Amino acid sequence: MLCRFFSVLLLGGAIAAGGAQEAAGASAPIVDLGAFPVDSDSRVAAINDDGTMAGVYSTPAKGSIAARWNPDGAVAPLAVPSTHRMTEARAINAKGFIAGSAYDDMSIRRPVLWRPDGSFTELSSPDRYEHSEATAVNTAGVVAGTVSIGSPPVERAARWDAKGVMTLLPLAPGDTKSAAAAINDAGVIAGTSGEQPVRWNPDGTVVRLPLLPGDDRGSAQGVNNAGVVVGGSGAHPVRWAANGTATALPFLRPENPGGDARAINDSGVVTGISSVGGGHHSAVVWDARGAITGLGTLPGHDQSAGAAINSRGVVAGESEQTSVRGRHAARWTAPDKATDLSRSFPGGDRAEAFAINVHGQAIGQSLTPDGVIHPVTWTQGGVLTDLSPGSNRPEANAINAHGVIVGTDNQKLNKDRAIRWERDGTITALKEPEYHTYRSRAYGINDSGVIVGSASSRRGSAQPTRWAPDGTPSLLPLLPGDAGGAAKAINNRGVIIGSSGIRNETNEHVVRWDPDGTITELTGLPGEKYTHAVALNDRGDVVGYSGDHPVRWSPDGRITELALPEGTSRGEASGISDTGVVSGWYQFGVAGAPGRALRWAADGKVTVLPSLPGGQETKADGINALGEIVGSSDNGAGQVHAVRWPATSEAGIRPVLSR
């Protein structure tokens, strides 16, 4: 089930068919069913004098995503080409240029720059195969950062001029590594050489900054336009005057020593952190005279940190409740006057809908706030209900017109058990056939309440199984010579599809059981070894895949390959309506190309289903008798939500070129 839930089709590669590109971006109807609300994980790293902020938020689906907050707190992800991912914004200048990093198509972290118009530039670095990042940018567009050189690789502080030409900054005598953290408008850079805080002057010379007595290491993290540097010496926050004189900054609580100075504005006001005991720290500011003030946290939180400060004294950083997942990007305009900047992020990290009935009720699964996968159901209006609110975590596989759901409980007694949810949410374990009580799974249900799936003994293969409406189980026959199989779906006429095969063999036969129990093999495409049936409609049409090709079988058993967009490497049909409309997906031939949801009309014409705004990957998992399709789509914000494509959306979707 985890594989089913997390098998996301990744990005990369160009779309060969122009129609496919156009269709994927069409503004056709798509309904966002959402996901369990999940607390955000975000932080602000920089703020300019206009109040525009830069930072990062993260999701399990996409990892870290660079973001820009407007002064009013509205947030937007910073765009990157499809060849890049896992982005982070570290600094912003007065003109709105943002410096940071992004992982390229070889999973190497690259230094990057976003312009105010959102355009993206990758900065040069000395070694194409080693990590680098940009950490600061001044008003003139000069960037500071850290690159890796040599073998084994060693980190070195670097500077890029406004034209993008990179220069390595010198090491302090005796050191072998360095890192740049901040830059002012005069080009003074603060950072670390070896384990010592340093300042690089505009002419490139490096100057060690003294540590406090008794300390043997430290770092410089911020610098203002007067050349005053802040950072840490051991566990002490420190301010270095332009002449290099070090001054220890006080702790918020003298009885809880420990802290760090991280940024300074041109008025000499410093922000950072100071310990408050219990392993926690608070965002603080030190005024120009060195007096310290705690900024507090967001309501309900127990820890915070100041990361940046502008000329108006507005501090940005993060706040969190350390006992739960998720840091919140925060902004302080005064002590205990914090604004939660994480509220703009879409709620919910990941969900996927697997099936939908004729009344628009969908089932699937979603990540709960604590990161656990739970089966869920959505009403036609999109209201989400947890099907397993307790500690048990079953999976829901099918739903009939009456809202009865079947699936598998894979947590009780360490074994799978076929189960049924009644309309009121009551879960009932299905009785297992005699001698086949070791494991059972339920995959399908029709409107009469007949359930199909599989059951197995401790030493035998799984056997295709049918449960009558009263719950009485019976085994279905196998093809001659076969040892096991599974029933995967049943229509309202009682026709069942599934598999039958030799024990311990993955090359199973696709089979159909008629209501009288007669078993018939459905053959795959010529030369294909692996063929699977996935769904059928009330007319007896069956869909699935043979090898890498989506296919459809007519009621008399004839197989037809469904057309795919040009340049695709594989596809699969996932469902079929009573009028012959088929749902499914495809993947392009380039490794890591996006997966896209598809709809095949009854005449075989294929169209690409649209994604959520900003999304690039979609998957269609099921279709009801009326042609409504459910599945998943990313939303451009690093999240994947369950979605529904209405049956009427075809007018807004354009056909694609097929091979």
Instruction: Give the DSSP letter string of 249-293.
Output: PPPSSTTS--EEEEEE-TT--EEEEEEEETTEEEEEEE-TT--EE
Burial class (CB in 10 A: 0-12, 13-18, 19+), 635: buried
Identify the residue with better confidence: 552 or 416. 552
Q: Which of 583, 571, 498 is nearest to 532 (CA)?
A: 498
Inform me whether the pLDDT recorded for 22 exceeds 90.
Answer: no
pLDDT tens per residue, range 319-330: 999 887 779 999
pTM for the predicted model, two decimal places? 0.68
Residue 236 φ/ψ, nearest 5 degrees: -110, 135
Whole-angstrom distance, CA of residue 509 vs CA of residue 532 = 8
How many angstroms separate the Cα of 465 from the Cα of each of 247, 418, 481?
78, 11, 18
Long-range contacts from 170-173, C-beta under 8 angstroms, 24+ separation: 170/200, 170/204, 170/205, 170/206, 171/206, 172/196, 172/198, 172/206, 172/208
Of 49-63, 431-445, 484-498, the range with the lowest mean pLDDT is 49-63
What pLDDT was estimated at residue 391? 61
The Cβ of residue 426 has, within 10 Å, a number of other Cβ atoms equal to 8
Of 402-416, 427-441, 478-492, the range with the lowest mean pLDDT is 402-416
- DSSP, collapsed to helix, strand or coil, labels residue 637 as coil
What pLDDT was estimated at residue 504? 61
What are the tokens at 264? 């300074």
Long-range contacts from 264-268, C-beta under 8 angstroms, 24+ separation: 264/222, 264/223, 264/224, 264/228, 264/229, 264/230, 264/239, 264/309, 265/224, 265/309, 265/310, 265/311, 265/313, 266/224, 266/225, 266/226, 266/311, 267/311, 267/313, 268/224, 268/226, 268/228
How many angstroms separate the Cα of 558 from the Cα of each of 62, 479, 555, 580, 583?
42, 19, 8, 15, 19
Inform me whether the pLDDT recorded for 588 exceeds 90.
Answer: no
Q: Which of 489, 409, 390 is nearest to 445 (CA)?
A: 489
Q: Which of 6, 3, 14 is nearest to 593 (CA)?
A: 14
Q: Which of 374, 433, 450 is nearest to 409 (CA)?
A: 374
- Return the DSSP state at 514: -
Whole-angstrom distance, CA of residue 365 vs CA of residue 376 = 5
User: DSSP strand E in 457-530: where?
Assistant: 463-467, 473-475, 484-490, 496-501, 509-513, 519-522
What spatial distance separates the first Cα and last Cα of the chain, rounded to whole Å? Answer: 32
pLDDT band at 390 (very low <50, low <70, confident <90, very high): confident
pLDDT tens per residue, range 222-269: 999 999 999 999 999 999 999 999 999 999 999 999 999 999 999 999
